[in-house]
Structures are given as structure tokens and as C-alpha cells.
Amino acid sequence: MKLSRRKLAGMAGAAALAAPALAQTPPSPAAPISATPGDLDQAARENNKRISDALAKFEIPPATEPAFQFKA
Amino acid sequence: MTDDVFFAGIAELNERLVKREFSTVELVRAFSQRLEQLGPRLNALALPLTAAALRRAKDIDAELKRDRLRGPLQGIPFGAKDLLAVEGQITTWGAKPFAAQVTGETATVLQKLDKTGSVLIGKLSMVELAGGPSYRFASASLFGPGLNPWDRTRWSGGSSSGSASAVAAGLVTFALGSETSGSIVTPASYCGVTGLRPTYGLVSRHGAMALSWTMDKIGPLCHSAEDCGIVLQGIAGSDADDPGSAGKSFYYTPQFARKLSDLRVGFAPSDIEWAETAMRPALQAAMHAIGETGVKMAEIKLPDFPYGALAGTIIGAEGSSIFESLITSGKVNDLADAKQIAGLKAGLEIPAKDYLKAMRIRSLVKQKFRELFADVDIIVAPGRYTVATPLSQALDAPGPDQPRPSVPGLNGLIPAGNLAGLPALSIPCGFAGALPVALQLVGPAFSENTLLALGREFQSHTDWHRRRPPMA
């Protein structure tokens, strides 16, 4: 399905309406100064998971293409 | 030659060279000595290139003698962030695992500057791997923490740490830095210099370390908006060797700038409350000064997206892919910052679905900014909401202990502007105690001349950009 820019913009608006909750997702908590490398590895993985959950909640129109282009 | 030359603008220095007030060799020798003497005191110097610079300066003097004039950059000494390759020289990317890396081909931007006749006198320090996905301490660099010339117990900002501190301390007339998400705007704000993040694709990244193919930009840090325009003209342009190249040139044309009274400038009043208390008087006065230039001010809101999460996913996934062999070989553990190491490892585990989702949402970000720029021509916001952090403070520590405003400000503008590929100009606008405070001006893609026009006008009525740090 091809979408016009105008329609895409309208859908973008709808998606943005769903965004406030995500935008307010609390940032990852600061690790204590004494954190060990193991703690930081764990914290980095948990941060990935937190971001992944946040992105999963963000609804976007199926026709939205990623912001890069392959040129043949 | 007086100390004034170390803080003079590009056009003035070039004019004095053309008038033979001093030679290029004399100028380059003076700057090189200063860079070698004061650079290490700021942890700003990665590699002096004095011998090559003096040889080049001699050639430039011969050209000037024959009246072969190349333009305002001819004979001007500059430094480059140590992620830009110089043929046959060590390029460390600020990271221990690359401390002995000798690069082959000189980066396109440096080749372009060579054609303008400017003289590279040294490589400047940086945060390791330009910050990678994240880092925790100012010490995340092969060269040690970047020290702020205004207060050496404070950080110079990252990741273009040495580029900003060297310009602020008058060790080079201008420097090249790079920004993936904040690495020009942050050190420019903290060090009180003028920094320009160009539109994505306007300046070639060929020969520069890649951190994020879709977000990396190279830009100048200078004493003024005027100088940023001159340098940008020298480095911008199409490059077949950079797949992200926009195929556009840039001509700095202040004489054709739009009338300021035609410009609409968007701002968020709550931004002042989001800033650290000590910064507020300077920011308030600066916003007032922007209004006094004749522009029309309009309240705006930033489109609501999880900018931090988007930038983190994209930089994390692309960066860890770029440095996959460093990570899997275990050499990543030689980096200085434990959070950087952990972030790079975790970046390899970011699922494709998250990266693609982030890149798809990024398309919407771009679209929403296009709509916002139908209402305003420029967005103005604080460069940073805190002054330069103490060296020992963890960068992920909570901000100052003060009540948070209930209304959102524009404090997501750095990741937002980078995700959308927009240009930004950071201009010094005052002090909080002894530390610089800055504004950032952000515009639509390829609006650099408009940003520079407003920056130039602001700087014609203020002298914050002319202040010199105590150590200088």
C-alpha cells in the first residue's frame, strides 16, 4: 500500500498522540558509583529491555518505512 | 605578535597575513608552541603535527608572496578531533585499543581544508570512540578527562572535548569536531565557544571514525558564528566516498541572509525553569537579546517522542555493529569507561525489530519537525541545562536538586535534532559564576545560513564569545 505524504503526516499525528506516555518513561536509574563491571553489564541489558518495551508500545502505521534508503 | 592573535577571528588573521604583518610561519609557530605548552594542561592535545605544519606554512607564505590568494582560511592554524584520519599519522579515536593505529588516507574534510590553505597543527583529544553508546565519567578517554579552561576542576564536555577546550583557550583558531548526539553542542556550551552541527550529509565523513552511519556529522568549533560559516563553506560538499552525502554544497552568504524581522523563532518559556538555577539570569537575558534582534518569538512544544530511547537504540545497534570485532575479541575491555564497555557489549544484543522500529519512528520524527518548521524558522533553547559538570561527577547522576517544572521544555532537542538530521548552532550567552552558558539555535535541514545570520546578529550585540578563560 502506498501512502501519500499528507496521509502519512495525518497518521504521524495520530501516532504522536499515543506518545506522551512513552516520552515520560523514566530514564534508566543511575548505577551506584561502586558498580562492578558485572552490575553495569546487567544494567545495560536491563536498559535494552526497558527501551524495547517502550518501543513495542509505540504504534506506527504499517507503511512507515525506516529512515534510511537503499539505493541500487 | 601579541596574545590577541590567539583569539582573533579567521578573516582578521587572514587579512593580517595578506598585509604581511606577520608570516604564516610565525603564526603557525606561535600557535604550535602554545598548543604544545597549554594543550596537555587541558588534556586537549592528542598529537602535535608541528613539523608538517611549519612545512605547509612555508608553502603558504610562498603563495602569499606571489599574491596567490585562496580566501579567508589561507594560513589559518587549526586542530582536528582525533577521529579524523591523517595519512601516515596515528589516529587513536580516543581509545586505548587504537592507540597505535596508523591511518592510510587523509579524511575528506582535511583534504578540503588543505585546499583552502589552512594549516593543521595538531590532533585534539576526544572521548573514546566518540562516546560510543554511553559513558559514565569524564575520564572516558585515552587522554584523560577533558579539562575546562574556565575551571580545570570541571569537564570540557564530550565527545569533542579537545576541539572545544583548544578553541576556548586560544590554542587553535578553529577546530573540527563531530556530533552523533550532542558531541559538538555540549562541549561548545561548556567551554563557551561557538559550535556548528551541520545538517546530516552536508559534510563528508569519509576518513572519520564511524559511530553511527545514520547520525554522524562533522562540524566546526570556532570563536564566532562568522568563523563557523567560513569553515563550513570550506568543508561542505558532495563526496562519492560518503554514502550519506547529501550532494549539496554550502556557500556562506551573510549578505543574502533573510531579514531577521521575517524570522519566527520558537521557544518554550518553561526552558528557563528546567535549567540549573544559577544559569537562569543569563538565559533570560539571552532570550531577551534574541527577541531584540527583531525576530518574532512564538511559543512551541517539541513533538512528543521518546527521543532518548530512539537515539540510544540506533546509536547502540549501529555502534556495536561497527565495533563488533573489538567487542568479540575482548579488546573492548581495554577501554577506560566500564559503562562504555557494558553498553557496547549490550548493543550487540539489540534485536533487529527494535532497531527497525526506532528507525521507523524516526521517519515520523522527521515528518513532525517538517510540520513544526512550517510555523517557525528557528528553535531556540539552552545549549545545555546544566553548566560543565565537576570532573568526579558521574554523568548519569541525577541533575541539580531543584523542583522539576510540570510543563515540558525543549530538553529533548539534542537527540531530537540529531535524529531528524537538523543543523544546530551553539552560541555562548553568558555565565553562571565562572562557567559559560549557551543557547542552541536549531533550524530545518540545510538552513545553516539562517542560523548563522541570527547567531551573527546576536554576537554583534553581545561579547560573550570574546571572553577569555583565566588560564589563557
Least confident interval from B28-32, B253-257, B365-369:
B253-257
Rounded mean pLDDT of B271-293?
Answer: 96
Banded pLDDT at B399 (limits 50, 70, 90):
confident
Q: Do A60 and B361 touch (CB under 8 A)?
A: yes
Residue of A nearest to B356 (CA): A66
CA nearest to B409, candidates B224, B292, B279: B279
Compare CB distances from A64 to B313, B349, B363 and report the shortest one's residue. Answer: B363
In sequence order, the 6+-apart residues with CB closer than 8 A to the CB of B401 are: none
- Quote the minimal CA–CA distance from B263 to chain A in Å: 25
Mean pLDDT value of segment B192-205: 98
Contact B349 A55 (CB under 8 A): no
Rounded distance between C-alpha atoms, residue B374 and residue B5, angstroms: 43
pLDDT at position A30 is 60
Q: Do B342 and A23 touch (CB under 8 A)?
A: no
Rounded to an integer, the average pLDDT of B139-151 is: 98
User: Is residue A50 within a helix (H) or strand (E), and if so which, with residue range?
Assistant: helix A37-57
The pLDDT of residue B25: 98
For range B68-83, the mean pLDDT: 98
Q: Which residues contact A54 (CB under 8 A, 6 or more apart)?
A: A22, A25, B306, B309
Provide the pLDDT for residue A12: 36
- Residue B72: is its pLDDT beyond 80? yes
User: Within an 8 Å CB–CB cutoff, is residue A51 touching chain B?
Assistant: yes
Whether B183 sits among the annotated catalytic residues: the reply is: yes
Q: What is the tens place of the pLDDT at every residue in B212-250?
A: 999 999 999 999 999 999 999 999 999 999 999 999 999
Can you tell me the mean pLDDT for B64-85?
98
**What is the reported pLDDT for A33?**
61
pLDDT at B346 over 50: yes
Amino acid making up residue B439? L
pLDDT at B87: 97
Which A residues in the span 8-37 are in contact with B, Cβ-Cβ below 8 Å?
Answer: 8-9, 12-13, 15-16, 19-20, 22-23, 25, 27-28, 30-31, 33, 35, 37
- B141, B128 Cβ separation under 8 angstroms: yes
Cβ contact A47–B346 (<8 Å): yes
Whether residue A46 lies within 8 A of chain B, CB to CB, comes out as no
Peptide bond into B159 cis (omega under 30): yes
Catalytic residue among B118, B134, B141, B159: B159
User: Pairing mode, if any, of strands B119-124 and B194-197?
Assistant: unpaired
CA distance A12 to chain B (A): 6
- Mutual angle of helices B338-347 and B307-322, in 10-degree steps: 80
Is residue B203's pLDDT more than 80? yes
List residues in chain B touching A: CB distance below 8 A: 136, 214, 303-310, 312-313, 316, 338-339, 341-343, 345-346, 349-351, 354, 356-368, 371, 394, 396-398, 408, 412
Helix (H) or strand (E) holding B390: none
Q: How far is A71 from chain B (nearest CA, A)?
A: 10
Q: Which among B75, B24, B29 has a CA at the least distance from the CA of B51?
A: B29
The pLDDT of B23-33, averaged and rounded, is 98
Nearest to A52 among B342, B345, B354 (CB): B354
> Best of A33, A40, A65 to disrupt the B interface by mutation (most B CBs within 10 Å)?
A40
Residue B459's H or E segment, with its range, is helix B448-461
All three cell numbers of B94, joined, read: 580516543
Per the CB < 8 Å rule, is A33 touching B394?
yes
Contacts of A30 in chain B (CB under 8 A): 394, 396-398
Express each pLDDT in A3-56 by its tens digit: 343 343 343 333 333 333 333 333 455 666 667 888 899 999 999 999 999 999
Q: What percent of chain B has pLDDT over 90?
A: 95
How crowded is the C-beta side of B386, counted as CA atoms within 13 Å? Answer: 16
pLDDT digits (tens, 9 = 90+) for B46-66: 999 999 999 999 999 999 999
Average pLDDT over residues B304-328: 97
Instruction: Report the pLDDT value the prediction gives residue A23, as an integer from 0 to 100.
Output: 37
- Going by pLDDT thresholds of 50, 70 and 90, the confidence category of residue B275 is very high
**Locus of grid cell 510543563:** B407
Mutate to test the interface with B, among A25, A52, A60 (most CBs of B within 10 A): A52
Q: Which one is catalytic: B163, B178, B183, B426? A: B183
Give the helix/strand (H/E) hosting B168: helix B161-168
- The SS3 assignment for B298 reads strand
pLDDT tens digits for range B423-439: 999 999 999 999 999 99
Q: Which residue of A has its CA nearest to B336?
A: A37
Q: How far apart are CA B180 and CA B373, in angstroms?
A: 22
User: Higher pLDDT residue, B202 or B400?
Assistant: B202
Phi, psi of B45 (to 5 degrees): -95, 120
Which residue of B214, B308, B345 is in closest CB contact with A44?
B345
- The pLDDT assigned to A24 comes to 37
Rounded mean pLDDT, B285-302: 97
Q: Is the ipTM of this complex over 0.90?
A: no
- The three-state (H, E, C) secondary structure of B59-88, written as one string: HHHHHHHCCCCCCCCCCCEEEEECCECCCC
Selected residue of B367, B404, B418 to mutate for chain A interface (largest A Cβ count, 10 A): B367
